Structure 1
Amino acid sequence: MTDPLRRALVVRGGWEGHSPVAITDTFLPFLKDHDFTVETSETLDVYTDAELLAATDLIVQCWTQDEISAEQTRGLTAAVRAGTGFAGWHGGIIDSFRGAVDYQILTGGQFLMHPPGFVEYPVHLVPERAAHPVIAGLADFAVHTEQYWVMTDPDIDVLATTTFAAGFPAGEGRDHPVVMPAVWTRTRGQGRVFVSAIGHKADDFDVPEVRTLTERGLLWASR
């Protein structure tokens, strides 16, 4: 017996370098296969529609940079606190709306910088969280993409990390490696939030572990 039909809202836009439409389109069949009706929006004004958000089980956001109004922020955060799930990846969720403190509190993290270009790096799953449904049964893996250096809230549940070698950023005189959250979850009120720092380009999701944990993250976050 399948779950009753759920409702997903995909909000996409902002800087085109993260291909918000093309990449989110690759997740629409997955959501539909898991009994979601899916609506897409290319305006942030959808966050002011309280009735729509209250009827939405999952918001998938891919909206890089740009600005969000106080009214839009209030609508989004109120919906999540009331139980609507919120999920996304890379700059579409943690390089968004830098001037909105309440939005940063919602996501629990913010992109700050990355090494030039794409780099090969391993992603380590946190052993203590191995049973979490987002990463259960997966193993450490490697990706070749942007490696995000992030600032995070201490009140997040880190599921995977990446390590920056000593000496980065250049000129800081750092002589030791730095372990950085790469995938995490958190709750805000009654709502769940899923964040992955991986996903700059479409072929990042060709890595089976990246695709799997992202899809699981969407399901985990849903009401």
Structure 2
Amino acid sequence: MSHSMRLVVGSIKPFSHFRPLRSAYQFKGTWWRLILLSLLAFIVVGLTSFMNIKYAGEVPEYAGLASNDRLLFLMSEVITDGVLGLLTFAFIVLVGSLLFWSFFQEVGYKRLTYIHSYVVFILLLGMLLQLPFIAFLNEPSLISPYSLGVYVDLLTNNTFWLYFTYSLSIFLAWGTFVQYAAIKQSTTLSKGYILFWIVTLNLLIVAILAYMRTAF
């Protein structure tokens, strides 16, 4: 039995979309969608970087450059951030799935990477919807009205906690719901066990990414 990757449908109706996933041994339309998802990740993160520099002034060194050097600087920053964004989402799919596999071996690593691709799609959608706020509010992409970070920002200036809480968005909650629906259809484990480890592992991944952003 095969299962077709349909990112939009799976994100909106996960329970019905992932119902056949447990018995599926072949995944149709996966590779070309993953290539498009990788391209989308590069473009969205690169565009976010461009708007951060242009509207939010996230890179102060940009203001001190001569006009003929600014375009080269801007292109290098956008490309570099696009590549780093692509690697970050690859980390979420490949390493995140490996962490999940430790607790959901019945689902299988291949299915977990398949499921995590939907999560990446949802997170990229969140980044797209964040772009207007960068331009209109002149605030960097870190500051998202869709997350808990806007409230934590009032209490602390600790960089780690700001990165961590700004990642706790409604889009992460949406992705967590999709993960739960997909994994629940693929295993006989209890609902409580599934929900506990999905939430715990997602928080761990967010903490790792927040630490990497502050440490490096």
TM-score > 0.5 by shorter chain = no
Normalised by the size of structure 1, how large is the TM-score?
0.32
What is the TM-score with the length of structure 2 in the denominator?
0.33
Of structures 1 and 2, the one scoring higher in RCO (CA 8 A, sep 6+) is 2
Q: Could you say which structure has the higher strand fraction?
A: 1
Higher Cα Rg, which structure: 2
